[in-house]
Structures are given as structure tokens and as C-alpha cells.
Amino acid sequence: MKENVIKLKTPLTSEQVSKLKIGDRVLLSGVIYTSRDAAHKRIVDAMDKGEKTPMEIAGTVIYYAGPSPSRPGKPIGSVGPTTSYRMDSYAPRLIEKGLKGMIGKGSRGKEVIEAMKKHKAVYFGATGGAAALIARVVKKGQVIAYPELGPEAVNMLEVEDFPLVVINDVTGADLYEEGVKKYQK
Amino acid sequence: MREVQVKEITLKLRELFQSACYNLGEDVIEALDRARKAEESPIGVAILDEIIENAKIAREGVYPLCQDTGLAVVFIDLGQEVHLVGGTLDEAVNEGVRQAYKDGFLRKSVCDCFTRKNTGDNTPCIMHVRIVPGDKIHLVCAPKGGGSENMSRVQLLPPAAGMEGVKKLVVDRVREAGSNPCPPIVVGVGIGGDLELSAILAKRSLLRPLGNPNPSLELANLEQELLEKINRLGIGPAGLGGRTTALAVHVEMTNCHIASLPVAININCHSHRHKEATI
């Protein structure tokens, strides 16, 4: 595994994400959007109806997360990643529209990995359960869509040096598979 | 009979849930420290450092350990000499959960199955009540995250599967769960009973302090063997490869029907949260 630490700022381009390889450590800064189960359904429903999505999809990075409530004076509550496979049925639609990055935890399905290869997108892992630690990289947070979904609302987050690992790159490689192979007995 | 105001239960649960979501138990922190020392994978060590640091930040009381502060699971051992007054047990328990989640800035994660509309206050909670001898009330709160619960299973094996069948089922389940349930995990295994009892046994087994083996030597050996097999899978912290896939395996067992061998596997993440108190 390479120990590169690469600094990136959103929005991302196909060229930027194509240079990333599994195992690369990334510090991501800029605006990202939280979206999980219920919000994904609404975003894809909006796309089906030809309606506007809450955020521009092209170049965007979506964070699969539903934060805990913010305390007064804090931009966000705890905000670790949720398990990504639940968004697998929606992700290819967004990748086709130019989504460049997804942040979550856990393995992705074949269709998502194929879509990432075809349209040049990557999947980043954040550390599951390190939610208080991750809260500290969030400088600003604001609900921008679907407030009625409560913790599943879409938040716009401004992050600074969010520590991530590339799990799937544009070649279709998978860090989970490679990492486990090394330590299997 | 000893009279107890149900309000006492409300207040105690409010305190317990908040404490569980911000203060990781010393037994878990010790297990993480031990795992950190034994871990061979560099990225595994880095992840364990993050998890240990996360617990320190959460302890300050601003950010909960995990954004998924769980379904509120409550285990109550109610002494049969207790007379509850001032309301119903069900209302008092749910009110405790409501107050804990609202006042503690904990995430409300309960919704309708099909509309997915959030109930807004993390109720109804999941309650398991046993009537026991005595005049005390023992409360255990165990907030349970959705990611690890989704990786849990119940299987009714044929009796011929035997002990080897149980071992295979548990190890296969952990392998298939992979990185999803936020390893390093704690694996609760309930053997015997029927469909629902095996599942409750598995969940109850998670309440035992880490490092305390089952008092039965046979089951303690099974726990140790399963832990070794699981940690040979190579999944590692956050699933990125390493030696520490599970911090512990806990097994509870009871008798079952002559036709079945029920096995439930309840996986918990490293945010292994539970707190208890006696009234």
C-alpha cells in the first residue's frame, strides 16, 4: 500500500480522480454534501421527473452520513460515515451525471464499481465510528434540502483536511479485497 | 412491596443513555489498547489510534462517540416485590429515552418502515423485561447502531450441524459482513431456545464486560476458538486489512427443540455501548 498523502479540494475533475490509486491517503477540503438512504431516493426521484437536484451533481463529492444534532455554536454534531451498500442502487445514476466521489464505509456492488470505471469516479473510505474525530474537520454545516427527513436531510459541509483512504479507484481495484488478502491466515 | 415512582426510571434511563453515547466503557478502551499493541498492519494501527482518540473526544461531552446513537434497547429486570406507581412502565421508559436523545443532542434514528418518516424522538424503544425475585429494578441501556445490526443474523440449523456447524456459521457471517459493521467488532452468539430467544441471548451476551469469558468451560473455549478464527480472517480495523477483526466473542446457550439448533449472531461495532444501574 502506498503511503501518499494527497491534498484535494472539491469540486473534483475526472483528471484528478483518475490519478488516485487504492490505498492512497487523501486529505479532502472544500464543500461536500451529506446524503443517505431517504435523500438518495428523493434525489433520484427528482432526476426521474426532470426536476432540479438539491446540489449540482457534476464534480461533486457525496458523503454517506446522517449527523447527530449540532450543539449551539457548533457547525455539526458527530458525523461518521454510514454503510455504503445501501446507496448502491442509486449511486450509478449519480455517477453517470458526473458525481466524482463518494465517501462511506463498506464494500460497493459491482454496478457501482463498473460505473466508477466507466465515468471516472472514486470511492473513499472514512473511518466508521470515528464520528467525533471527523466532526472536527467540519468548518461549516447547513441543511440545504429535505429538512423534514431529520438526520437524513442533505447538509452542505465545508470540510478542511478530511482524512480519507481510496477504497475503489477508476481501474475497479478494491482496497478491502487487497488489504484482507495480506493478513488472511 | 416496595413502592417506586416510575419517574425514577425515566431519570435514570435519561442519564444512562447519555452516558453510554459519550463515554466508552473502560473494558472496551482496554481491549482497543491491547489490540493496538498487537496489530501488525500499519493502517490498522492508524485506525485504532483514531478510534481511541475518538473516544477521548467523545468523553468531553460535546460530540457523541458515533453519529448513530442507535435504536434505544433497554433491558429491565423488575423485582416482583416492586410496586410501580405514578404511571406505566412503558411510558416511563420511553420518556427516559425521549429526554436522553433530545437533551443529549443524540441522533433520532427511528422511522416508519415504509414511509421512512422519522418519529422525531427516537421512540418507541426496544424493551426486554424479566420479572425477577426481589425488590430492586435493574436497568441496562444498550444503544445499537444500524450498520452492525444489519449484519446480524438468525439461522435455525439442523441438529446434525452440531458445534462445527455453529462455528462455520459464525465465522462465515463475520467474513461476509467484512468492513460493513465497523470492525473491530464484538460478536454476540446466542445458541438454543427458538427463533426469538436465540436472538435475545445473542444481544444479551453483548452486555457482558469484555474479557469476561462464559462461566462454562465448554462455552469459554468456544468463545476463544471463534475469536481466533475470526481474527485470522484478515479483515482488520475498518476492514482495511489487519489482525484485529473482533475484540471479543461472547456466547450464551440454552436448551432447544429436538428438531432444531437455533443460532443467532448479533454483531456490534467498536462503539460497544451499554450502561447499567439499579434502583
Which of B25, B270, B26 has its CA nearest to residue B148? B270
The pLDDT of residue A62 is above 80:
yes
- DSSP-assigned letter for residue A56: -
Sign of CA dihedral B216, B218, B220, B223: negative
pLDDT digits (tens, 9 = 90+) for A97-121: 999 999 999 999 999 999 999 999 9
The pLDDT of residue B57 is above 90:
yes
Tell me, yes or no, if B240 comes closer than 8 A to chain A by beta carbon.
yes
Q: Domain A5-183 belongs to what architecture?
A: Alpha-Beta Barrel (3.20)
Which of B243, B242, B248, B202 has its CA nearest to residue B224? B248
Domain span at residue B239 reads: 147-271
Task: Please tell me the number of Cα atoms within 13 Å of B242 on its side-chain side.
Answer: 26
Question: If you average pLDDT over residues B10-39, what whole number do you get?
Answer: 97
pTM, entire model: 0.95
Question: Do B106 and A152 make contact, defined as CB atoms within 8 angstroms?
Answer: no
Q: Tell the residue number behind the cell numbers 460497493, with chain if given.
A: A108
Residue A13 is predicted with a pLDDT of: 97
Q: What cell numbers appear for B73 in the block?
A: 434497547
Q: How many domains does chain B have?
A: 2
Query: Chain A to chain B, count of Cβ pairs less than 8 Å apart?
Result: 162
pLDDT digits (tens, 9 = 90+) for B67-78: 999 999 999 999
SS3 B144: strand
Query: Where are chain A's structural domains?
Result: 5-183
- Return d(Cα A60, Cα A50) in angstroms, integer: 19
Is residue B279 situated within a structural domain?
no
Q: Are B166 and B231 in the same domain?
A: yes
Q: Are B17 and B131 in the same domain?
A: yes
Amino acid at B86: G
Residue A185 banded pLDDT, cuts 50, 70, 90: confident
Tell me, yes or no, if A54 comes closer than 8 A to chain B by beta carbon.
no
Average pLDDT, chain B: 97
Judge contact between A120 and A18, C-beta under 8 A. Answer: yes
Q: Are B71 and B163 in the same domain?
A: no
Is residue B164 situated within a structural domain?
yes
Measured between beta carbons, which residues in chain A are less than 8 angstroms from residue B71? none
Q: Are B179 and B224 in the same domain?
A: yes
Measured between beta carbons, which residues in chain B are less than 8 angstroms from residue A77? 63-64, 67, 105, 107
Catalytic residues of A: 40
Write down the ipTM of this complex. Answer: 0.93
Which of A115, A144, A121, A149 has its CA nearest to residue A42? A149
Is residue B34 situated within a structural domain?
no
Amino acid at B59: R
Under 8 Å CB-to-CB from A180, ≥6 apart: which residues?
Answer: B178, B233, B234, B235, B236, B239, B241
- Return d(Cα B230, Cα B244) in angstroms, integer: 9
Judge contact between B165 and B191, C-beta under 8 A. Answer: no
